[in-house]
């Protein structure tokens, strides 16, 4: 597909990703002369008239989101037989690929990434948008370790396809779905919070809270299954973090944090309480760690001592004069 033009404007350079509903290409915007990512939806989705209308509506809403942790949408449109959306190109990889490479992510880094994601999702919640399909594949991590969320609005557009025409991909990734989404109810900001909890669980433990080959069984587990605390797999995970994850993975939406903003504030408080790294307390290290302020305090002590000495010493002649006078 190299050298092909999309929308008579975007020159395809190379493929950079593929999924069940779209292919993603690195392209050059010939008008603005910059690199962009172009997501081209599969033809079978593009042919559905209801989906096309809903997709364009959701793309317009998502294009209004401007946040450092949300992938910016530049353009969207239709070629004769396909829908496409043009986004900023994030030089990095997605979180799922990182998890495949590392199995799990160290706790400080995991908290930092999820706080960034919560900030972006919380911004969307304040704008009245629910993502509906948060998962590691939709979280990009740049080479500078900035997290960016993609695919806002696409999951909601997919919901417009009639049930008898829906494929497995229409229901997103059941590994990350909230219980209410698994039962067919409308998602809410609390549904996104649940999905974020699953993502954090996977980052910390290297596994999902529920796993099953059958999507229907997986949906049932989300609705009735018990979640093992993350510390069951990693004893270094503190009890406070266990409790936070248990809360966001509650079956009832009202029992979770209502928005991603609330979840972010809780995680920030937890991250701020991380113990300081151990330092070398040997004599050499102690000398090296002495601050100028500490040295200035020592000089003040010496000065005060000298003043006290002079004050007391100045009384000696007076005492001698009084003694001689009375003699």
Task: Please report the domains of the chain, with CATH numbers, ordered by start residue.
Answer: 5-272 (1.10.510.10)
Structure tokens at 124: 């969307």
Please give the Cα distance from 287 to 273 (Å, whole number): 28
Query: What DSSP letter does each residue of 177-233 carry, written as one string?
Result: --HHHHTTPPP-HHHHHHHHHHHHHHHHHSS-S---SSHHHHHHHHHHPPPPPGGGT
pTM of the model: 0.77
29 catalytic? Reply is: no
Please give the Cα distance from 327 to 283 (Å, whole number): 57
- 91 burial (CB, 10 Å; 0-12 / 13-18 / 19+) is exposed
> Which residues does 118 contact at the CB level (< 8 Å), separation at least 6?
196, 260, 261, 263, 264, 267
Catalytic entry in 48, 94, 133, 151: 133
Q: What is the DSSP letter of 24?
A: E
Q: Is 259 helix (H, G, I), strand (E, B) or coil?
A: coil
* Per-residue pLDDT in tens (0 to 9) along the chain, 327 residues: 556 899 999 999 999 988 777 899 999 999 999 999 999 988 877 777 777 787 888 788 888 899 999 999 999 888 777 889 999 999 999 999 999 988 789 999 999 999 999 999 999 999 988 998 999 999 999 999 999 999 886 666 655 544 444 444 334 578 998 999 888 888 899 999 999 999 999 999 999 999 998 988 999 999 999 999 999 999 999 999 999 999 999 999 999 999 999 999 999 999 887 543 332 333 333 333 233 333 334 455 555 566 655 555 665 566 565 556 665
Please give the Cα distance from 215 to 217 (Å, whole number): 5
């Amino acid at each position: 597909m190299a050298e092909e033009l999309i929308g008579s404007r975007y020159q395809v350079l190379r493929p950079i990703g593929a999924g069940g509903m779209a292919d993603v290409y690195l392209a050059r915007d010939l008008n603005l002369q910059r690199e962009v990512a172009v997501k081209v939806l599969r033809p079978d989705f593009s042919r559905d008239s209801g989906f096309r209308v809903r997709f364009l509506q959701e793309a317009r809403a998502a294009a209004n989101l401007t946040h450092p942790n949300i992938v910016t949408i530049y353009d969207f449109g239709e070629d004769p037989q396909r829908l496409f959306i043009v986004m900023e190109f994030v030089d990095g990889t997605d979180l799922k690929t990182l998890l495949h490479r590392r199995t799990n992510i160290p706790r400080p880094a995991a908290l930092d990434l999820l706080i960034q994601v919560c900030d972006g999702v919380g911004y969307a919640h304040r704008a009245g948008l629910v993502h509906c399909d948060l998962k590691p594949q939709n979280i990009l991590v740049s080479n500078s370790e900035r997290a960016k969320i993609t695919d806002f609005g696409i999951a909601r557009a997919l919901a417009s396809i009639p049930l008898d025409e829906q494929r497995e991909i229409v229901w997103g990734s059941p590994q990350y779905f909230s219980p209410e989404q698994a039962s067919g109810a409308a998602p809410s900001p609390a549904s996104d919070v649940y999905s974020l909890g699953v993502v954090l669980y996977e980052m910390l433990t290297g596994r999902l809270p529920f796993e099953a080959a059958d999507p229907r069984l997986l949906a049932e587990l989300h609705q009735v299954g018990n979640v093992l605390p993350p510390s069951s797999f990693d004893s270094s995970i503190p009890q406070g973090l266990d409790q936070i994850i248990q809360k966001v993975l509650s079956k009832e939406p009202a029992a979770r944090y209502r928005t991603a903003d609330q979840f972010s504030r809780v995680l920030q408080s937890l991250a701020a309480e991380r113990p300081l790294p151990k330092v070398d307390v040997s004599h050499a290290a102690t000398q090296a760690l002495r601050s100028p302020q500490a040295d200035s305090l020592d000089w003040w002590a010496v000065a005060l001592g000298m003043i006290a000495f002079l004050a007391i010493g100045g009384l000696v002649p007076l005492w001698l004069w009084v003694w001689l006078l009375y003699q």
